[in-house]
Amino acid sequence: MCGILGIYSNKNVSKELYYGLYAMQHRGQESCGMAVHDGKEINYKKDMGLVGDVFKTHDLEELPGTKGIAHVRYSTAGGSHMYNCQPLVGTLRKRNLGLVHNGNLVNANYLKEMLEEDGIMFSSKSDTEVILYMLARYYTGDIVEALKLTMDQIKGAYSLVILTDDELVAVRDPHGFRPLLLGKKDDEYIFASEDCEIEILGGKVIRDLEPGEIAVVKDGELKSYNFSNKCKTMKKSCIFEHVYFARNDATIDKVNVYEFRVKSGEILSQDDDVKADMVVPVPDSGWAAAIGYSNASGLPLTEALVKNRYVGRTFIKPTQEERELGVKIKLNPLSRVLQGKSIILVDDSIVRGTTSKQLVKSLRDAGASEIHLRITSPPVKYSCYYGIDTPNRSKLIAATKSIEEMKEYIGCDSLKFLDIDKMMSAVGEGNEFKFCKACFDGNYPVKKIDKEDEE
Ligand code: SF4
């Protein structure tokens, strides 16, 4: 998961890109960057770290230009290194290109070997560089044609924003795995991973990009092209965006994230007959689901975990050791509230199980008498090949353990998940077929071509 942003304006965009980066910091905390076209060339700055650490006021002054792109990253393909930071920027046949990418290709290694045979030397390990070189290979002045030829070859998940000398271009892959929205503010066009970025910049959300859409802004006008008519029936938007990643205030592919989470909590409580004193959310993404659970069950909603807001999301830290340390620093139980209480602990998902195990231990140490863990998604049993950090199936607790075994490992008194059909009912009738849920049911919309990564 990454966050991407592009702005086409008639005034300087670096400050807007900077504030937009802040608005999407939740989508990646390892590195960030922006690239701006000043009318002659593309200037950029990117580095490891949070937006506030990487960019200072003088950096923005040194990045003038009326169109630009920006990116926050956490590593899926390629690892957490400076050389994988985005935007990627290059020059070819006297033309400048800049690119930001959210997603993962399933055939990046295959294409990389092919490009290396042609003498191309790679400077990063990310699949984004493969996209840039494929595009550069076909780009002789017509960006739409070059993109169609590139999209013919690259497989998997990609939302892109591209900067050329004349255009700002946004692309969503034929399945629309990753979100990408179009917004407008006066004469300015904004492309962003989530609508909150557009709204925070004072823009109005126009719509989601369609699967396979190539949207080009040139000379102040937007034109839209289709990679293929088939894309209309291929939509597979990632349900995990709604379960975990996106901000509560986002609406992706017409499904509001907050409403989805509240509804998931309500549905989960409907079949639950466990006796407890209160409902406790795991902050932040567990809050909306816990509200739903509390509303439907009539049990009081209580804040019993205090979050340190200055620590990044634990799920997206690159190593297990960092993840474990992250959980300890991040969530502190309120022992005064928990003493002798039986609690329903509501979380959005269990991926590796390590966070839940540590949380349950710290809640018990703080005095909770019973902990009933309720998860508002099904067990994650399969790796995601499309941009979520679960490359190796053996690391997923639900892939190797039954629910009873998971309960024992985590140390809770009972454990329940929302089943797939019930989760999908929360997206609204008729929408369920437009979502990828492969990490829950193993039905991959696009087959992985590269060998699975070892972790
Ligand atoms: Fe999202 Fe899961 Fe599909 Fe990956 S496999 S795109 S996480 S729903």
Q: What is the DSSP string of 293-342?
A: HHHHH-PPB---EEE-TTS--GGG-SSHHHHHHHHHHHEEE-HHHHTT-E
Residue 362 contacts residue 331 (beta carbons within 8 Å): yes
Say if residue 223 is in the same domain as residue 268: no
- Contacts for 334-341: CB closer than 8 Å, 24+ residues apart: 334/303, 334/304, 334/305, 334/306, 334/366, 335/366, 335/367, 337/302, 337/303, 337/304, 338/304, 338/363, 338/366, 338/367, 338/368, 339/366, 339/367, 340/367, 340/369, 341/277, 341/278, 341/367, 341/368, 341/369
Whether ligand 1 lies within 6 angstroms of the CB of 384 is answered as yes
- On the question of pLDDT at 100 being above 80, the answer is yes
Whether ligand 1 lies within 6 angstroms of the CB of 238 is answered as yes
239, 316, 393, 433, best to mutate for ligand 1 pocket (most atoms within 8 Å of CB): 239
Q: What is the count of structural domains for the chain?
A: 2
DSSP E strands in 227-283: the ranges are 237-238, 251-252, 255-256, 278-281
Say if residue 207 is in the same domain as residue 347: no
Residue 107 binned pLDDT confidence (cut-offs 50, 70, 90) = very high
Interval 282-336: pLDDT, tens: 998 899 999 999 999 999 999 999 988 766 554 455 566 666 666 667 888 999 9
Residue 438 contacts residue 284 (beta carbons within 8 Å): no
Residue 21 contacts residue 34 (beta carbons within 8 Å): yes
Say if residue 275 is in the same domain as residue 407: yes
Q: Give me ligand 1 centre to Cα 332, in Å.
A: 30
Give percent above pLDDT 70 in the chain. Answer: 93
Task: Flag whether 440 is in a domain.
Answer: no
Residue 240 contacts residue 250 (beta carbons within 8 Å): no
CA distance 436 to 69: 27
Whether ligand 1 lies within 6 angstroms of the CB of 436 is answered as yes
When pLDDT is averaged across residues 436-447 and rounded to a whole number, the result is 96
Say if residue 200 is in the same domain as residue 157: yes
Say if residue 202 is in the same domain as residue 276: no
When pLDDT is averaged across residues 196-217 and rounded to a whole number, the result is 97
Q: Give me ligand 1 centre to Cα 368, in Å.
A: 34
DSSP 161-212: EEE-SSEEEEEE-TT--S--EEEEETTEEEEESSHHHHHHTT-EEEEEPPTT
245, 437, 446, best to mutate for ligand 1 pocket (most atoms within 8 Å of CB): 437
Phi, psi of 263 (to 5 degrees): -65, -40
Distances (CA, A) of 355 to 88, 139, 186, 392: 34, 46, 45, 18
Task: Flag whether 409 is in a domain.
Answer: yes
**Residue 445 alpha carbon, nearest atom of ligand 1:** 3
Task: Flag whether 48 is in a domain.
Answer: yes
Say if residue 193 is in the same domain as residue 325: no
The residue out of 204, 235, 266 marking a domain boundary is 235
Residue 277 binned pLDDT confidence (cut-offs 50, 70, 90) = very high
**Residue 177 alpha carbon, nearest atom of ligand 1:** 6
User: Per 3-state DSSP, what percentage of the chain is helix, strand, and coil (rounded to 5)?
Assistant: 35, 25, 40
Say if residue 214 is in the same domain as residue 311: no
**Residue 239 alpha carbon, nearest atom of ligand 1:** 8
Whether ligand 1 lies within 6 angstroms of the CB of 293 is answered as no
Say if residue 358 is in the same domain as residue 413: yes
Whether ligand 1 lies within 6 angstroms of the CB of 178 is answered as no
Say if residue 262 is in the same domain as residue 231: no
CA distance 135 to 140: 10
102, 177, 255, best to mutate for ligand 1 pocket (most atoms within 8 Å of CB): 177
Instruction: List CB contacts of 129: < 8 A, sequence separation 6 or more.
Output: 88, 122, 123
**Residue 438 alpha carbon, nearest atom of ligand 1:** 5
pLDDT of residue 307: 85
Whether ligand 1 lies within 6 angstroms of the CB of 446 is answered as no
Whether ligand 1 lies within 6 angstroms of the CB of 351 is answered as no
Task: Flag whether 446 is in a domain.
Answer: no
Task: Flag whether 243 is in a domain.
Answer: no
Residue 444 contacts residue 277 (beta carbons within 8 Å): no
Instruction: List CB contacts of 59: < 8 A, sequence separation 6 or more.
Output: 45
The structure tokens listed for 131 are 């996209």
Say if residue 176 is in the same domain as residue 316: no
Task: Flag whether 37 is in a domain.
Answer: yes
pLDDT mean across residues, the chain: 92
pLDDT of residue 455: 47
238, 427, 444, best to mutate for ligand 1 pocket (most atoms within 8 Å of CB): 238
Q: Give me ligand 1 centre to Cα 438, in Å.
A: 6
CA distance 424 to 421: 5
- Name the closest-CA residue to atom 6, ligand 1: 238
> Higher-confidence residue: 417 or 83?
417
pTM for the model stands at: 0.92
Instruction: Report the catalytic residues.
Output: 2
Say if residue 215 is in the same domain as residue 261: no
Task: Flag whether 32 is in a domain.
Answer: yes
pLDDT of residue 80: 66
Instruction: List CB contacts of 24: < 8 A, sequence separation 6 or more.
Output: 3, 4, 5, 72, 192, 193, 194, 197
- On the question of pLDDT at 166 being above 50, the answer is yes
> Higher-confidence residue: 125 or 122?
122
Say if residue 220 is in the same domain as residue 274: no
When pLDDT is averaged across residues 150-165 and rounded to a whole number, the result is 97
Which of 119-133, 317-331, 334-348: highest mean pLDDT? 334-348
**Residue 157 alpha carbon, nearest atom of ligand 1:** 6
Whether ligand 1 lies within 6 angstroms of the CB of 439 is answered as yes
Domain that holds residue 387: 256-434
**Residue 444 alpha carbon, nearest atom of ligand 1:** 5
Task: Flag whether 241 is in a domain.
Answer: no
Instruction: List CB contacts of 65: < 8 A, sequence separation 6 or more.
Output: 12, 13, 14, 36, 37, 38, 39, 43
- Looking up residue 335, the CATH number of its domain turns out to be 3.40.50.2020
CA distance 131 to 129: 5
- Looking up residue 107, the CATH number of its domain turns out to be 3.60.20.10
